[in-house]
Amino acid sequence: MPSLTRRNLLVSGLALSASSLAARSAWGRATALLGAYPEVKSAEALAALAPREQYLMDFDWKFTFGNANDPAKDLNFGMGQGDFAKTGNFKFAKSGFDDSKWRSLNLPHDWAVELPFVWDEEQKSHGYKPLGRRYPETSVGWYRKEFEIPASDQGKRVWIEFDGAFRDVLVFVNGCFVGRNNNGYAPFRFDLTDFLAVGAKNYIALRVDASFGDGWFYEGAGVYRHIWLTKYDSLHLGKWESYVRCDLKDGAATLSLATVVENQGKTGESARVTWKILDSAGKTVATAESEAQSIDADSSAHFKATARLENPSLWSVDEPTLYSAVVTVESQGKARDAERVSFGVRTAHFDANKGFFLNGKPLKIQGTCNHQDHAGVGAAVPDALQWFRAGVLKEMGSNAVRTSHNMPTPEWVEACDRMGLMMMCETRQMSSSPEGLAQLETMVKRYRNSPSIIIWSIGNEEWALQEPMAEQGEKIAATMVEKCHELDPTRVVSAAVNGDNLQGVSNALDIIGFNYNLKYPDDFHKTHPTRALFGSETASALSTRGVYTTDPLRNTVSAYDVNQPGWGELAEEWWTFYGTREWEAGGFAWTGFDYRGEPTPYGWPSISSQFGIVDTCGFPKDSFFYYKAWWGKEPVLHLFPHWNFAGEEGQEIPVWVHSNLDEVELLVNGKSMGSKKVPHLGHVEWKVRYAPGAIEARGSKGGKVVQTVKRETTGEAVTLRLTSDRMEINADGQDVAVLKVEALDQQGRPVPTANHLIEFKVTGEGALIGVGNGDPNCHESDKGSKRSLFNGLAQVIVQANKTAGSIQIEASGGDSLASANLSVTTRSTTPRPSVL
């Protein structure tokens, strides 16, 4: 088949499953929010223009642990001091090396999630995993792969490109040391051209050392993002140098187009660049071209042009319309390289007195902060699971995310672009050192065409740079802000500041972000009336899904909105503050999803946080429906708790309702407890003495009952139920289905207190890659075939192989529960081209 550019691979792979994407978000929640996808033929047409080829390099790797202390257990690497003395002598990256006892696996891969938990308080914030210099046996991993470079690649420039790996990576090819990268989030790449054997087998080895971390949260370990092998003509477009800037005025958009062309050939060449602008249906709506320039050998040149779009469709959170620019470099009438860049036409403006405006219309930022791990897979999140997670947040009514606290994976940004989630995009290292600026530059260049991004963030809670080192902090931040403006003058730059924002870093920022501290913004707004404000990190409300009594002996927190750790705010508190001040742009709640590490408010045996509005699987907690009521557009009537409190008869139970209706009446076993008006941005509640039976809420609007919901006392669990977010996935070796596991009583009602141990069996054209249940205290393996239900729920993630057919999943709970079976179809598809 024609080779495709990477960008088109991303688009075309999704286009093939566009019909199923309508049901991709959690458990059938609507993702008809997705933008339109160009057809596959558009990608193939682009590939025919130029010789660039890009291949996924994720399949058929071998893996083994090394050792950070003992070279004899680390492939003898570092046995002496002469390892790097001569080029080409690293035997583990050459033919004849015996890796037959190594484990076979595909990428992305996070070995940290596979490790047992250890009670070591030094590892608390990282999720109690045995990583670091005190755990040499499990902190180094080796990856090895054999691959072919065909004779037809003679004369091409061949690069290996990593989307990210954690953390310190040494790359060896055909016995030669090629390069090193030592941060866990920024992408990196190396030119392999001189090291490859053309028309022959080649060998690559990666030594990945996770002894050091970048953050204070769970970060994973290993090659947890994609690897690509890209083959370029000697005359080609620079990496992430193409951009499209939109100036929207009087119903038309002027597009400023620019790129860089690099000449890695041995002679000078004359080149020009053309741009073709496509709408979301793949129709050409504008074109542009630059003047020709001469480019010396081993040099580069900048090319610019403009184009105009009449009456463009705007990108918004409700209609995330995307355009594409096909950028082609030509020489002597021949296309030498091409790429496709997605962009959106929109305006984003922060006003000190009126808040945030998208496309000239006021819009509150209804955001969440999120780390990048998920139940069952850790940091190695499959692409489809990124969409799943975005769907969960969209269903809640959220319109924005913050990438706490690092450069995000490309697939997360892609999902936000196409699903209509705005983004505060954050770099990991707040520093104006060469390394810090390089990471920042890579992030801005990589994502500056993404319409979802409305804020660049240069850091988080750098206390030293705020006060004791305020002078240095202001200079560091000013240099970083200047770099952002140089690379992208269209967006504001901020940081997440936990303090009063009166000095240090804050002085250099375009807009001011407050972490918590509701005592500060009002006074700051009065004394700094020209500076726009928003909540860069808020809430930190605590809850355990399905638990309604705080119990320190069990390390659980009640799911009512009554718990916060002292520095934070309850959901109602922070949103009432930000949602009622016109000058506040909105904010980002900590956090959307629970995440591994930083177990709060407890320590061991808790291994994950309890800040999330949903748990680590994406199962909603009750506060999810508070946000859905006040952030969403549909009527909401959520009644809780469940009504299974055996042994607590006669005891007083708080009954809450989250709703955006006018009034709610509560009935207990058919008897009315009275009606209450729903306060704006609040909830209603009653105190009820427990008796088995049912509670019922009746919500009224305009004096009429428009919605009812009931919670009944269920019987014992007798059977299991499996449901999938999608019943059909791609047979491409990467796509996943996310399954929900429930226990039901004799009447088919979910039992909200069920905690049975469930065993899973997966057969057919796929495999089980992860299990979870959202329990912050569960130490069961994420990679095992068993998982306990936690308050009635568990999750199974299965991944297709490359053979069309079906995946059969069986869940069994022993003699007391009838088993459940589900079949997920894996359909034939055109997979991303891969390295063989």
Element (H, E) at 698: strand 694-701
- Catalytic member of 219, 414, 474, 537: 537
| C-alpha to C-alpha distances, 614 to 380, 416, 594, 657, nearest whole angstrom | 19, 18, 6, 18
How many whole angstroms separate alpha carbon 667 and alpha carbon 283?
Answer: 57
Q: Strand pairing partners for 207?
A: 142, 170
Q: Is the dihedral of CA 333, 337, 340, 345 positive or negative?
A: negative
Q: 445: Cβ–Cβ under 8 A, 6 or more apart, which residues?
A: 240, 241, 487
CB neighbour class for 779 (10 Å; exposed up to 12, middle 13-18, buried from 19)? exposed
Residue 461 appears among annotated catalytic residues: yes
How many whole angstroms separate alpha carbon 812 and alpha carbon 814?
Answer: 6
Say if CB 140 and CB 210 are below 8 A apart: yes
Tokens of 44: 């193939």
Tokens 């705080």 belong to which residue? 550
How many whole angstroms separate alpha carbon 102 and alpha carbon 446?
Answer: 35
Residue 241 appears among annotated catalytic residues: no
Q: Could you tell me which of 40, 6, 35 has the C-alpha nearest to residue 21?
A: 35
Q: Strand pairing partners for 169?
A: 181, 208
Q: Residue type for 196, please?
A: L
Tokens of 681: 């941005």
What is the CA angle 110-113-115, rounded to 5? 115
State phi, psi for 730 to the nearest 5 degrees.
-80, 135
Q: Could you tell me which of 155, 331, 242, 230 has the C-alpha nearest to residue 5?
A: 230
Beta strands at 400-403 and 365-370: parallel, antiparallel or unpaired: parallel
Tokens of 486: 């140089």
- Catalytic member of 461, 584, 696, 742: 461
Q: 420: Cβ–Cβ under 8 A, 6 or more apart, which residues?
A: 33, 35, 315, 316, 317, 318, 319, 320, 394, 399, 452
Peptide bond just before 405 cis, omega within 30 deg: yes
Beta strands at 168-173 and 492-497: parallel, antiparallel or unpaired: unpaired
Count of positions (residues) in the chain = 836
Active site members: 461, 537
